[in-house]
């Protein structure tokens, strides 16, 4: 591990509210992508795992972009929460300023919920790829693939907490209901995909 990695951990563990849980969920997702890519590379080009060539190559081809997206979302989540805090610090000396502040808080909070929701989508997409790699990928690397699935699932769960806490702080409305609905659907979908991956890998490893 290099100094940059240590600096990230130090930043997370500081008393500053950002980077927080949402950023961490995105960083976890970047690790999930990296592990899945490793297993894909250990599958690619090996005759013994010929049925897994297609999904392995697909994962490899988009791995750099997927990791970059995860890192971008980690930064965006921190910026989104900073924006919420800035909105609360806006002046409210007049009715007009109060209304401007109220709108800024609403908009920034919706954005702060939308970023972790995007993390949930990315995690769900990765789990979908892992399903086929679990079926046909290199048997000797399946524990690493299950580790990737565990990370992706954890990433989604942590991100969902950040969606919920932001939505809880605003009044009901169409945008809130829409984001909440998407969050609930993704929560179910990621759980189903994770459980399927776990089942496939356990059966291939002949573990009870």
- CA-to-CA separations, 197 to 5, 33, 80, 118, 134, in angstroms, rounded: 30, 15, 33, 22, 6
Point out the residues of the chain with pLDDT beneath 70. Answer: 1-2
pLDDT value at residue 173: 86
Q: Could you state, in order of their start, the residue ranges of all structural domains in the chain?
A: 20-205
pLDDT value at residue 10: 86
Q: So what CATH class is 20-205?
A: mainly alpha
Q: Check: CB of residue 80 under 8 Å from CB of residue 111.
A: yes
pLDDT value at residue 127: 98
pLDDT value at residue 172: 80
For 68-125, the pLDDT digits (tens) are 999 999 999 999 999 999 999 999 999 999 999 999 999 999 999 999 999 999 999 9
- Which residues does 40 contact at the CB level (< 8 Å), separation at least 6? 55, 56, 57, 59, 60, 63, 133, 137
Helices 21-43 and 142-168 cross at an angle (nearest 10°) of: 160
Nearest to 141 by CA among 31, 40, 29: 40
pLDDT value at residue 1: 59
Tokens 């409210």 — which residue?
A: 92
Over the range 73-95, which residues count as b (16 or more CB within 10 Å of their CB) and which as e? bbebbbebbbbbeebeeeeeeee
Q: Where are the alpha helices (DSSP H) in 44-139?
A: 53-61, 63-88, 95-136
Neighbours of 46 (CB within 10 A): 14
Cis link prior to 19 (omega < 30° from 0)? yes
pLDDT value at residue 24: 97
pTM higher than 0.85: yes
């Amino acid at each position: 591990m290099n100094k940059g990695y240590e600096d990230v951990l130090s930043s997370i563990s500081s008393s500053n509210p950002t980077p927080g849980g949402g950023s961490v969920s995105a960083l976890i997702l970047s690790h999930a992508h990296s592990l899945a890519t490793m297993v894909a590379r250990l599958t690619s080009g090996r005759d013994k795992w010929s049925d897994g060539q297609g999904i392995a190559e697909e994962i490899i081809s988009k791995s750099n972009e997927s990791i970059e997206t995860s890192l971008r979302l980690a930064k965006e989540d921190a910026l989104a929460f900073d924006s919420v805090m800035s909105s609360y610090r806006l002046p409210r000396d007049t009715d007009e300023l109060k209304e401007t502040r109220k709108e800024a808080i609403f908009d920034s909070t919706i954005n702060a919920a939308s970023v972790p929701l995007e993390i949930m989508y990315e995690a769900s997409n990765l789990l979908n790829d892992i399903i086929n790699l679990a079926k046909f990928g290199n048997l000797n690397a399946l524990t690493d693939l299950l580790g990737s699935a565990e990370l992706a699932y954890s990433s989604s769960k942590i991100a969902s907490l950040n969606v919920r806490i932001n939505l809880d702080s605003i009044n009901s409305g169409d945008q809130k209901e829409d984001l909440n609905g998407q969050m609930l659907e993704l929560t179910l979908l990621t759980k189903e995909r994770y459980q399927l991956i776990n089942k496939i890998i356990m059966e291939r490893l002949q573990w009870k």
